[in-house]
Amino acid sequence: MKIILASSSIRRQQLLKRLVDDFDIVESGFVENSIKYNGDCKTYVMELALGKANDVCNKLEDKQLIIIGCDTVVYFNGKILGKPKDREEAFHMLKSLSGNEHQVYTGLAVINKFSGIVRQEFVKTSVRFSNISNNEIEKYLKKEEYGDKAGAYGIQGYAGIFIPEIRGCYYNVVGLPLNRLYKMLIGMGVNL
C-alpha cells in the first residue's frame, strides 16, 4: 500500500519520515472554511482532517492507498487561533498567549482506499507561554516564522524560548502527533 500525505507542510513531511520511508505528497484543495466551528475543537479538527483526506482520496484513482489528512489549531479563551492573516494579527495572537495556557488540537484522518476503512482521532496538548514583552514579540516577528502557523508560533522554532511547559505530545504542537498516527496506521494493518 502506498501512503499519501494530504499536506504540503514541510514540518509534517519531516515528521512522517520518522514513521515511513516512502510516501507521496498530494496537497489537498479542501476549503477549510466550509466547516463551521461549533465550539467543539476535537470534532472540528477531525472534520477538517477528514475533509482534506477525502479531497485527496477523490483525486486519485489508485485503490492501493493509505491517505493521511491532518489539521492543527490553537484554542484559547473559547476561540480558535488559526494562521494569522498578517503581522498585526500575529502580534495580537502572541500578546494574548503571553503568560497564559492554551491548547493545541490536531485532528487526524486515515483512509484505506482499498478497504474503505476510515479512522479519525484527535490529540490535545496544553502549552504554557511565559510573559513576553512587546519587544520580544517584535523580535520574534522579524524572524518571519509566524506566517503559516496556527497561533502565530512554531514550538520547534525561535518561539520555543517562550514556552516553559507543555502537557501532552510535543509533536502534536509541531503538527503531526507521531505516536497517535503510528497506532492508527498499525491498527489499520499498515506494515511500518
Pairing type for strands 79-81 and 24-25 reads unpaired
| 40 belongs to the catalytic site | no
- State how far the Cα of 41 lies from the Cα of 35, in Å rounded to an integer: 12
**Residue-by-residue DSSP string for 148-163:** TSGGG--TTSGGGGG-
**pLDDT for position 189:** 86
Distance between CA 85 and CA 57 in Å, rounded? 29
**13: its cell numbers:** 513531511
The pLDDT confidence band at residue 186, using thresholds 50, 70 and 90, is very high
The answer to whether residues 33 and 80 touch, using CB atoms and an 8 Å cutoff, is no
Whether the Cβ atoms of residue 84 and residue 90 lie closer than 8 Å to each other = yes
> Cα-Cα-Cα-Cα dihedral of 129, 132, 136, 140, to 10°?
20
Q: The whole model's pTM is what?
A: 0.93
pLDDT score, position 1: 87
Catalytic residue among 55, 62, 71, 86: 71
**pLDDT given at position 147:** 87
| Residue 152 region by backbone torsions, left for phi larger than 0, else alpha for psi between -120 and 50, else beta | left
Residue 24 near residue 3 (C-beta atoms within 8 A): yes
Cell numbers linked to 91: 502580534
Is 130 a residue whose pLDDT tops 90? yes
- The topology under which CATH files domain 2-187 is Maf protein (3.90.950)
Instruction: Write the CB contacts of 1 (distance below 8 Å, at least 6 apart in sequence).
Output: 64, 65, 66, 112, 114, 190
For the residues 92-107, what does the mean pLDDT come to?
A: 97
Q: What is the mean pLDDT of residues 127-142?
A: 97
* All structural domains of the chain with their residue ranges: 2-187
pLDDT tens sequence across 17-74? 999 989 999 999 999 889 999 999 999 999 999 999 999 999 999 999 999 999 999 9
Q: What pLDDT sits at residue 70? A: 96
| Sign for the pseudo-dihedral over CA of 185, 71, 103, 12 | positive
Q: Look over the chain and give the mean of its residue pLDDT values, rounded to a whole number.
A: 95
Mean pLDDT of 120-144: 97
Q: Which helix (H) or strand (E) holds 40?
A: none
Which whole number is the average pLDDT over 147-151? 89
